[in-house]
Structure 1
Amino acid sequence: MSKKRMLIISLSGIGNTLLALPFLTSLKDNFSSAQIDLVCLTQGIVELLSPRGLIDNFYVFSRNIVKVLFMILRLRRNKYLYSFIIFPSNKWQFDLVAFMIGARYRVTHCYKYRSKINLSFLQNIRIKAEETLHDVEQNLNFLKIFNINSSQREVELFLDDRELAFAEDFLKNKGLQEAFLVGIHPGGGGRLSKKWQGRFKRWPVSYFSKLCDRLIEQKGAKILIFGGREESEIKKEVKRIASHKESLFIIEELSLRRVSALIKKCKLFISNDTALMHISAALGVSTLGIFGPTNWRRTAPYSNSGYYISSDIPCSPCLKYPFFSSSSKIKCNKGVKCLKEITVEKVMDKLKELNLI
């Protein structure tokens, strides 16, 4: 008898894919002999997940339409029994890709809102998306089709000895082994001046600088500033504005697993709503996510050591996707007032309230 094949389609990014980990773990636990493959957007997802042993084959989606078609043909030949589109999935493009791959049972979520171009009917099993649930829970609801009620709720990442040794050596070379280490991620994708979607998720750079100064003055903290190559200007700006520059360390471009190893060494991680925030929480680091336009109910750090702070202005969160729109673009005409109203003092108070400092 041929091996049962399942395909996971996750085309929303690293953070969203990490929030599918409990579902993937439960799927592997209950179908240990099945072949489980993953279609994803970036090599970073492969780097993070391949050591877990949950996925048999990774396929990284290309932005080249010819390469996409060849990939779909290759996947179609695998004759999957099931395909699952990871939450959020209210986009006709996702439905079309899943249909073209042609699993016998194509599973997705169904939403109250449907765009003019809606192809969810191409999936033959639809699970109701519930507005009050975290993305982790939305993905776990896929298990209902197998009558499985999973107790697996942890979003967890694990590092090997070499990666941890790298972090130890890095901190030793900087003289930071005994420091109260705080990691920050002031980015959100895109350069400082680039008009890209991620800018709407960023707590002001000057606020991050002032927060660093406060943590250094009150806790003697040393600050590690994280971010990708495209965020180098933002990282430099945080350090430039800060008063205690000698206590701020910019983490240059490293592999995602080495970045994770350094995050693991932090006592505290403070971030916008980004993939690094989810990585920190998955590593068991005390993590504070700063939320403005995006919905903390959906994507707050999902762990016992994960927390969030948000403002209470009526228009926040303004990201309507996926429940009330099929567009994942944030449209703000108020200058991200929701983030500017989260002052440095409020963040410090939140950290004290949580006994994190």
Structure 2
Amino acid sequence: MNGQIENARTKNADAPTLQSAEFSRILLIKLSGLGDVAHTLPVLVKLRARYPRARIDWLITPEHAEIVRCHPALSNVVLFARRDFLDLLKQIRRAKYDLVIDLHGQARSAFFALVSGARVRIGFDRPVKDIIRHGWRGAREWSWIAYTHRIPIPTLDVHAIDRYLWLGPLLGLDDNPPDLTIHLSSQTARNVQRLLEEHGVQPSKALAVLAPGTIWETKRWTIEGFAAVARQFLEDGFAVAVAGTERDQPRCRQIATAALGACDLSGKTTPAELAALIQRAEVCVTNDSGAMHLAVSLGKPMVSVFGPTSPIRVGPYHRPESVVRLDLPCSPCNYRWLSQCPFDHACMKQLTSAMVVERVREILRTAKSHAELL
């Protein structure tokens, strides 16, 4: 299989020439998706190692820009704001990029790659066939037509981070372990500490963060489950913060109400501040969501509840022990909507809070043992 993957990765005819080429102006495109942005960070690090003197910019939405803005490997963020679309096109054109890497893989991102005028434009190949037809299978919306070089897709049973790193053989990037580190501003950390203090959480207090939100309906563990975990944390002496976006506020509010003493911070943090909140915590409990990937990138103890999605493809990177899931024949299904599920959401409804609490305690014991060895 390894040989097959290596052959598939380098099928572009001029790959050797590309590996030895030097680029001075590079644009990396990953517009949005908190987890997707976190998954792209190792590519940024490897690009900087390969092209130490290059200007490396990142095209990204304003909402997610603060996650990457302070990264030492990045030169600039280029903000994708829809209201300034024409100005953005002019800005990209004026930059005279010679290499564009589109890891977003949609029509709009491919359009930006074309507009750049870059002589080398790299993105994933067209979708491949898959038995599970609802997950990622390749570039979408015919975006692959815009690329001068396509990243082959030899298998789908691989984590998203490793999939992005298939770019490596095309450009001659190093094969060092991926660096997922998130670099946040000191102001972001101060904002979060001030927010916690406003809710009665002092800097010395141990903190557990619960992130019950996610866009897919089917990936949401039960409100009752999260509330029971929150109550156990409170009983164990933790402060508990329930975090999420404005979209998550109804769920977060119900969880905080059912766990007296938990503070509801939903809708009160930016993505970067959510990262700082998780960085402040001793442990984090999530669904399969962006918050989970932030916890991994920040090296925090965490537990994530999985049901319709595959931990192999999108789970916490190299942290299988952090996944709690039921071994059901229908899982993973990759259905997004509850109306698609013929089994009454069994993968989530049958997963108990006791299972999650037990795993949390195992993770914390392991983290404590590792800390004592250092």
Q: Which TM class, normalised by the smaller chain length? A: 0.7 to 0.9
Cα pair 1:263 1:269 within 8 Å, conserved: yes
Residue 231, structure 1, aligned to residue 251, structure 2: no
CA RMSD of aligned residues (A): 3.0
Residue 307, structure 1, aligned to residue 325, structure 2: no
Which residue does 1:332 correspond to in 2?
A: 340
Which residue does 2:24 correspond to in 1?
A: 4
CA distance in 1 between counterparts of 2:339 and 2:95 reads 40
Residues 177-220 of structure 1: CA deviation (Å, up to 9, x unaligned) = 4433210011124xxxxxxxx33321111211112123333x23
Cα pair 2:324 2:359 within 8 Å, conserved: yes
CA distance in 1 between counterparts of 2:139 and 2:296 reads 34
CA distance in 2 between counterparts of 1:10 and 1:45 reads 10
**Percent of pairs identical after alignment?**
22
Deviation, structure 1 residue 222: 2.1
Residue 139, structure 1, aligned to residue 164, structure 2: yes
Q: Under a length normalisation based on structure 2, what TM-score does the superposition of the two structures give?
A: 0.78
Task: Note the 1:58-207 alignment, pairs <5 A.
Answer: 58-63=77-82, 67-86=84-103, 89=105, 91-110=106-125, 111-113=127-129, 118-129=142-153, 130-168=155-193, 171=196, 174-189=200-215, 198-207=216-225
Deviates more, 1:153-162 or 1:103-112: 153-162
Corresponding residue SS for 1:28 = helix
The size of the alignment, in residue pairs, is: 332
Cα pair 1:225 1:251 within 8 Å, conserved: yes
Residues 120-146 of structure 1: CA deviation (Å, up to 9, x unaligned) = 233121112331221111112212112
CA distance in 1 between counterparts of 2:139 and 2:205 reads 51
Residue 344, structure 1, aligned to residue 353, structure 2: yes
Aligned with 1:22 (options 42, 50, 53): 42
Q: Under a length normalisation based on structure 1, what TM-score does the superposition of the two structures give?
A: 0.81
Which residue does 1:215 correspond to in 2?
A: 233
CA distance in 2 between counterparts of 1:16 and 1:4 reads 25
CA distance in 2 between counterparts of 1:118 and 1:257 reads 32
| CA shift in 2, pair 1:350/1:295, >3 Å | same
Cα pair 2:64 2:271 within 8 Å, conserved: no
Unaligned runs of 5+ in 1: 190-197, 321-327
Deviates more, 1:134-143 or 1:286-295: 286-295
Deviation, structure 1 residue 170: 5.3
Q: Counterpart amino acid of 2:340?
A: C
CA distance in 2 between counterparts of 1:148 and 1:45 reads 26
CA distance in 2 between counterparts of 1:158 and 1:117 reads 33
CA distance in 1 between counterparts of 2:77 and 2:145 reads 27
Residues 290-334 of structure 1: CA deviation (Å, up to 9, x unaligned) = 2222332222223669822223223322228xxxxxxx8897333
Aligned with 1:55 (options 64, 70, 74): 74
| CA shift in 2, pair 1:305/1:329, >3 Å | closer
CA distance in 2 between counterparts of 1:331 and 1:319 reads 13
Aligned with 1:289 (options 296, 299, 304): 304
CA distance in 1 between counterparts of 2:258 and 2:95 reads 54
Residue 251, structure 1, aligned to residue 265, structure 2: yes
